[in-house]
Structure 1
């Protein structure tokens, strides 16, 4: 199991388009992917779950990945969040 603390640095947060990009990437992996923020934990492969967290710019969350491809999944998702600003999100 991998747990990473991630901060959203892009100006608009994890709104619909970046959340959709996240779900598309997360769905490629067999591992269980969870996002925990403010005592709420959601399925990291559910766009509605992610949007329900209301993750704005500066928000921090825990990425929890568990499974046989957990390392690759965690690194890919962390990179995606860190590159949102570069993609105009």
Structure 2
């Protein structure tokens, strides 16, 4: 299992559009993706789960990824989390 922490850069945090982009990218990989913020841990392939985290700019998000193509998924999903696009 790979684990890495990222800082949200999007000025609006993880709202509908960034959540959709994250989930689309996560589901393109054959691995399990968990997203952790504080004490909440959700399935990274669930848009509703991701939005319930209430992640704002500057928040720390930890990804736990296991399975096939985990390293590739970590790199791609990290780019989505650290993106400054709204």
The answer, yes or no, to whether TM exceeds 0.5 is yes
Once the two structures are superposed, the pairs formed by residues 47-86 of structure 1 within 5 Å of their partners are 47-83=47-83, 85=84
Aligned match of 1:20 = 20
Residue 68 (structure 1) shift: 1.6
Counterparts of 1:70 and 1:16 in 2: how far apart (Å)? 25
Residue 38 (structure 1) shift: 1.2
Counterparts of 2:52 and 2:23 in 1: how far apart (Å)? 14
Counterparts of 2:25 and 2:77 in 1: how far apart (Å)? 7
Find runs of 4+ consecutive structure 1 residues off by over 6 angstroms.
Answer: none
- Root-mean-square deviation (Å): 0.8
Q: How many pairs does the alignment contain?
A: 86
Q: Scaled by the length of structure 1, what TM-score is found? A: 0.93
